Every structure is written in structure tokens, then in C-alpha cells.
A = this chain, B = another copy of it.
């Protein structure tokens, strides 16, 4: 089906566009009362993720309510370890917890390289969302970066230092590579399935990129992200490695189209370091706590710093759940109304 608004995709491919496209990480989520209603009806987070009708509904909400230029499928990066054999629970307030975690080579026996069909509910949600969107805007698919998924599988939960996962890299590098490769292969299968089901672009989230040293990042993370980018050929690819300011130059040499920036990364410096890619980001999500006038000013400053070309407007991190909807709308509307001069 022909897209009515393909601004986001054209920008992602590096084409000149009439205005900067905009969407927000975590746009489908707790900031919308309509989301909270569906979430409450679902009972728990994982039911919402695993029920295509519900996932579709919350995926489309921000397109209709906020007017963003792209939808992103409502799901969770931790579906991959689950498909590989490691179940997790989502605890209120505490976040994800894995009852079993990977500690030794022996534990690999619990795991297998997963096929796309083992996450059929996500593929179904994508197909269903595409149908309901009926070409209104493109749909983004996504997965976690292998290093981030690895961290969760080793730590069993979130962590401030992820020192168990990092310890594994230092003490058992071969084992680490073996597990990272299994995650990578599963992720490639998964993202290929997403594209086949209708995803127009895929984004890889490396949430824990920032806790590795530059050398470790190259060896244990970027290498696998690069494999994934090489394997996905039919759609543009975005890599968002939060905190990996030190890896920006290296991002030039992998086959992604778009590089996401967090709010710590200076825009003009990033342009200099990553000249070959489209950049996505990077307003501090906390900037949306300011007044409407503040939000507008900060958004315009961001747009000016990026300039008219090769930019997709977004935050530098996911929306925080206590952000007011009118501030989010102000961010989106400011981008949509802004025209670069000169």
C-alpha cells in the first residue's frame, strides 16, 4: 500500500525533504490516557505485548492523537531472550526480572537461536497495525542490540553498573561471543520477520551501550549490530546506542542509515563525527517539563542546530511517563510548523 506520508522514510534514506519528520521514543505509552485505559483492561504489560489487537491499538494511538510522522510497534526488547528460552516477568515499579539467568556455558543449553515465527504475536501485531494504518504513516519495527539483551540475560534484571555482564566479558570472552552470536542470529531472524510482516524501517536499541569502554564496545557490541544491519537489506535501519558518544565515528562504517543521538551528544560535534548518516534526536526528555514557551524554544534551537537535511526529530531518550500531553504535542507541532530559512 502506498504511504500517504512517507516523509520519515525519505528522510531516513537521506533524501531532501520539505520539512523535518518527527516521532518520539515511547510515544505509545503511559503519557496517553487512552493507553492507560487499554493497559488497565489488559491487566498486565505482557498481555498487552502478546495480544496483537491491543498492541495494534496502542501503536496507532499516538498517530491519531499526537500526529507523529511514524508509528513504532508496541512491544518489548526482551521478547528475544524469551523466544530463545529465558522467560521474564515485568514487575510493577521494579521492571523486568528473569527468574533464571545465564551464568555458565552449561546454561546455554536452556537457549536456542529463535525463529521469527516464535514471536508470531509481534509479527501479527505488525501486520494488523499496517492494515489499520492504511498507509497513513510508516511503521517502525525494532529489537534490542545484542549487548543490551546479553546484559539482561546475565544480570537477570536492570542494574546501575551491569558489573555481572561486564565481568563476563572480561573473564569469559569466548563464552560471551558465543551467546552474543546466538542473540544476533535470533535478532536477525526476528527483524527479517518484522520486515516481511510490514515494518518499513527497523531500529536497534542499545540501551546499555554507555557502560562499555570504547574498545569493549567495538568488540562486544558494534560488531554484532553491524552484522544485523548487513543482514537486513530491504528497509532502512536506525541504530540508537545510548551513551556511546565514543562510538559515533565508528557508526559511519556500519551499514545503517540513521544514527540516534541522546541529549548528551552535542549536535554539531555529532554532525562532524557522523557525516555520512542521517541523525535522529535529541531533545532532553526533561525539556518537556518546561512551559509551552520553553518547549517551543528548546525545540526550535534543536532544529536549527541540526539544520534542514538528514535529520529526524525525536527526543534523546524515551518519553518519561509523567510528561504532560500538551507539551508532547507542542514539541511535535513545533517541528511540523518549523521551516528552515536561508
Contacts and interface: CB of A to CB of B under 8 A. Distances in A.
Contacts of A289: 163, 166-167, 170-171
Nearest to A217: B264
Interface residues of A, number: 32
B286 A214 contact: no
Interface in A186-222: 210, 212-214, 216
A264 B246 contact: yes
A265 B286 CA distance: 25
A286 B213 CA distance: 10
Contact of A263 (B213, B243, B285, B287): B213
Given A210-B264, A214-B264, A170 B294 contact: yes
B246 A266 contact: yes
A35 interface: no
Interface string A275-305: 0000000001111011100100000000000
A170 to B, nearest CB: 4
A2 interface: no
Contacts of A163: 285-286, 289, 320, 322
A214 B171 contact: no
A286 B320 contact: no
Nearest to A211: B264
Contacts of A246: 245, 264-266
A255 to B, nearest CB: 24
A289 B173 CA distance: 12
Residue from the set A284, A285, A287 with the largest chain B CB neighbour count within 10 Å: A284
A246 B287 CA distance: 18
Interface of A: 158, 160-161, 163, 166-167, 169-171, 210, 212-214, 216, 243, 245-246, 263-266, 284-287, 289-291, 294, 317, 320, 322
19 contacts: A161-B320, A163-B285, A163-B286, A163-B322, A166-B284, A167-B289, A170-B286, A170-B287, A170-B294, A171-B291, A210-B264, A213-B264, A213-B284, A214-B264, A214-B266, A243-B243, A245-B246, A246-B265, A246-B266
